[in-house]
């Protein structure tokens, strides 16, 4: 194949992008309706919400407006009711916030504020304490116990189990009784968490029923997803992970003109973004930043078809003429080969992210070349932040133990605990540019947004609330900037100990460092 000059158009083989794959291995359940966690991200997110929630475009807009109001109202009412609150939740049927209350005075305050009061018997604080009893008995849970959590709408702690008898047996082992406050529900076993790494494969459906395209992950972003090639999927298209489990939705996609996209992960889908690229040799290459490499620099790429391939940067600002209707500008040319299915995969030079695979000419058997879409314009276009090791790491403290997400179960309301450091994803925290500390697409927070000493530290849906802002000082204190109090280990500080806010005193229980 003849190529034009680097500054001009490049004629490339079509089809380098992806491979069509039958859906015989694909699970059939649709994505969780509650998955998209942010406000609409352009037409792509609007379409996804319409599909998954079975709403019209106007209903989506109305719902989002109501949800935004509910979020603001919840923070205000939590401040007013304090520990008396029985929980808060958005009621789609009533199109407004519902708040659990314990007395008529609080019910009036909730009603006057514009929310719906719901009389309950137990405060959110009491339910959290009941759940902690189960947490402490976690070792008594066998393989028929799938998990437990506070359900504020039910005003109860729900234990998910294979059957009623197994659930009751576990509850008794914890010293509790199954009933109104602790209820047994039949559930399914949780699946292990999947890490999002550059070069890993993912799938998205084509316009032909029953078929999927296979592409590769580019790089994780702090916004709760990853970037990839635009031709891998249209805005609003769903994605499935390498194990065919539900993963996310294309929140934005550009092709032709450019060739880039980003996928927003579903909350609760058990995928976690990591500052890594898969080298297909059993290791993860760490991503430290996105400093652009000059022409002539060595560069490597990762993808699901040809795995880990390297070459040099040969030219920049390349225009690719894939077809008369598919012209892409601003690409970078390299001597690293690529083949169908590698599209979207990561290009990295040393530990600096460079871009995502767009296309190529030839293959790995005949000295082919490749093109990638530079990363920084992608981040700028979608206002994304690259997930890097500079902002990620373990938080090590008391007795050289780490802040850990129990059993990698990243769910809202989960309380991290102190655990032996083990370099797993459950201990890899991202220090976001907005002052939040994140893992599993959730933010470190205080229960109910409390600023009081003794307030429990937990994971919450990232909302921009002041209670979710933390700062790791040079003195080694992890300060909740909203309260001015420090994160400390509860009690003696053994394995499994939880965390709370305390008046900063410089004690060992309040000393932390990022590793």
**Residue 305: CB atoms within 10 Å:** 21
180-189, 308-317, 462-471: which has the highest mean pLDDT? Answer: 462-471
Structure tokens given for 446: 């205080």
Q: Which member of 231, 392, 450, 467 is catalytic?
A: 231
Q: Does 392-514 match 1-22+189-390 at the fold level?
A: no
pLDDT at residue 43, rounded to an integer: 44
pLDDT at residue 195, rounded to an integer: 60
- Asked if 418 contacts 426 with a C-beta cutoff of 8 angstroms, the reply is no
- In this prediction, residue 360 has a pLDDT band, given cuts at 50, 70 and 90, of confident
d(CA 68, CA 203): 32
Average pLDDT, integer, range 19-29:
28
Query: Phi and psi (nearest 5°) for 182?
Result: -120, 110
Q: Which member of 123, 166, 253, 343 is catalytic?
A: 343
Please indicate whether residue 281 or residue 31 has the higher confidence score (pLDDT). Answer: 281
Q: Is the pLDDT of residue 37 over 60?
A: no
What is the length of the chain?
Answer: 515
Average pLDDT, integer, range 444-473:
95
pLDDT at residue 188, rounded to an integer: 54
Q: Is the pLDDT of residue 10 over 90?
A: no
| pLDDT single digits (tens) 484-514 | 999 999 988 899 999 999 999 999 999 999 9
| pLDDT single digits (tens) 139-193 | 788 878 777 778 888 999 988 888 999 999 999 999 999 999 999 988 654 433 4
CATH number for the segment(s) 392-514: 2.80.10.50
pLDDT at residue 14, rounded to an integer: 33
Task: Classify residue 1 as exposed, middle or buried by CB count within 10 Å of its CB (0-12, 13-18, 19+).
Answer: exposed
Average pLDDT, integer, range 275-299:
84
Contacts of 26 (CB under 8 A, 6+ apart): 203, 212, 240, 244
pLDDT at residue 269, rounded to an integer: 66
- Please say if 259 is a catalytic residue: yes
pLDDT at residue 365, rounded to an integer: 85
Which has the minimum average pLDDT: 85-94, 120-129, 394-403? Answer: 85-94
Write down the mean pLDDT value for the chain.
Answer: 83
Structure tokens given for 89: 């939740």
Q: Which member of 259, 342, 404, 445 is catalytic?
A: 259
277 bridge partner residues: 198, 285
pLDDT at residue 459, rounded to an integer: 95
511 bridge partner residues: 477
- In this prediction, residue 18 has a pLDDT band, given cuts at 50, 70 and 90, of very low
DSSP three-state, residue 453: coil
pLDDT at residue 1, rounded to an integer: 27
Q: Is the pLDDT of residue 335 over 60?
A: yes
**Residue 388: CB atoms within 10 Å:** 21
Q: Is the pLDDT of residue 419 over 90?
A: yes
- In this prediction, residue 24 has a pLDDT band, given cuts at 50, 70 and 90, of very low
- In this prediction, residue 9 has a pLDDT band, given cuts at 50, 70 and 90, of very low
- In this prediction, residue 19 has a pLDDT band, given cuts at 50, 70 and 90, of very low
| pLDDT single digits (tens) 378-388 | 999 999 999 99
- Please say if 471 is a catalytic residue: no
- Please say if 52 is a catalytic residue: no
pLDDT at residue 299, rounded to an integer: 83
Structure tokens given for 314: 């040969």
- Asked if 116 contacts 143 with a C-beta cutoff of 8 angstroms, the reply is no
Half-sphere exposure of 282 (CA within 13 A, CB side): 0
Q: Is the pLDDT of residue 52 over 60?
A: no
Q: Is the pLDDT of residue 39 over 60?
A: no
Give the residue extent of every domain in the chain.
1-22+189-390, 392-514
Average pLDDT, integer, range 350-365:
88
- In this prediction, residue 194 has a pLDDT band, given cuts at 50, 70 and 90, of low
- The DSSP element (H or E) to which 96 belongs, if any, is strand 96-101
pLDDT at residue 295, rounded to an integer: 79
The CATH-assigned architecture of domain 1-22+189-390 is Beta Barrel (2.40)
pLDDT at residue 86, rounded to an integer: 95
Which has the minimum average pLDDT: 58-72, 227-241, 373-387? Answer: 58-72
- In this prediction, residue 13 has a pLDDT band, given cuts at 50, 70 and 90, of very low
pLDDT at residue 77, rounded to an integer: 94
pLDDT at residue 93, rounded to an integer: 86
């Amino acid at each position: 194949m003849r190529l034009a000059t680097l500054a001009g158009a490049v004629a490339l083989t079509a089809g380098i992008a992806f491979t069509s794959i039958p859906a015989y291995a694909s699970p059939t359940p649709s994505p969780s309706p509650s998955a998209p966690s942010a406000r609409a991200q352009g037409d792509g997110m609007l379409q996804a919400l319409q599909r998954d929630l079975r709403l019209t475009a106007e209903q989506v807009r109305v719902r989002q407006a109501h949800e935004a109001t509910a979020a603001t109202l919840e923070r205000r009412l939590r401040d007013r009711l304090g520990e008396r609150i029985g929980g808060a939740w958005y009621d789609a049927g009533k199109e407004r916030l519902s708040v659990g209350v314990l007395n008529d005075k609080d019910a009036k305050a909730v009603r006057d504020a514009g929310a719906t009061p719901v009389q309950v018997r137990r405060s959110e604080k009491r339910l959290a304490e009941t759940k902690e009893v189960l947490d402490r008995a976690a070792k008594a849970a066998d393989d028929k116990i799938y998990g437990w959590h506070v359900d504020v709408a039910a005003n109860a702690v729900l234990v998910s189990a294979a059957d009623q008898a197994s659930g009751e047996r576990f509850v008794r082992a914890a010293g509790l009784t199954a009933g109104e406050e602790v209820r047994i529900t039949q559930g399914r076993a949780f699946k292990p968490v999947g890490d999002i790494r550059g070069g890993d494969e993912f799938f998205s459906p084509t316009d032909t029923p029953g078929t999927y395209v296979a592409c590769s992950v580019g790089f994780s972003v702090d916004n709760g997803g990853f970037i990839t090639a635009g031709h891998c999927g249209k805005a609003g298209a769903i994605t499935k992970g390498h194990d065919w489990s539900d993963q996310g939705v294309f929140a934005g996609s550009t092709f032709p003109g450019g060739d880039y996209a980003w996928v927003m992960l579903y909350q609760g889908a058990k995928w976690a973004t990591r500052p890594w690229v898969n080298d297909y040799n059993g290791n993860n290459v760490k991503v430290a930043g996105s400093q652009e490499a000059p022409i002539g620099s060595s560069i490597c790429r990762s993808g699901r078809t040809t795995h880990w391939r390297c070459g040099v940067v040969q030219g920049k600002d390349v225009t690719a003429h894939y077809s008369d209707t598919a012209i892409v500008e601003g690409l970078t040319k390299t001597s690293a080969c690529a083949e169908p299915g590698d599209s979207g995969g990561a290009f990295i030079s040393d530990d600096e992210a460079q871009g995502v695979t767009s296309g190529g000419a030839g293959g790995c058997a005949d000295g082919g070349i490749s093109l990638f879409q530079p990363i920084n314009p992608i981040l700028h276009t979608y206002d994304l932040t690259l997930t890097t090791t500079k902002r990620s790491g373990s938080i090590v403290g008391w007795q050289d133990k780490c802040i850990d997400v129990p059993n990698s179960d990243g769910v809202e309301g989960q309380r991290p605990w102190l655990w032996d450091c083990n370099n797993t994803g459950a201990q890899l925290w991202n220090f976001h540019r907005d002052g939040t500390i994140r893992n599993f697409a959730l933010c470190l927070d205080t229960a109910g947004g409390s600023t009081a000493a003794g307030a429990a530290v937990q994971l919450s849906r990232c909302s921009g609330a002041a209670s979710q802002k933390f700062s790791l000082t040079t003195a080694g204190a992890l300060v909740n900037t909203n309260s001015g109090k420090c994160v400390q280990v509860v009690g003696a500080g053994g394995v499994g100990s939880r965390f709370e806010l305390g008046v900063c005193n410089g004690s060992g229980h309040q000393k932390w460092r990022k590793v």
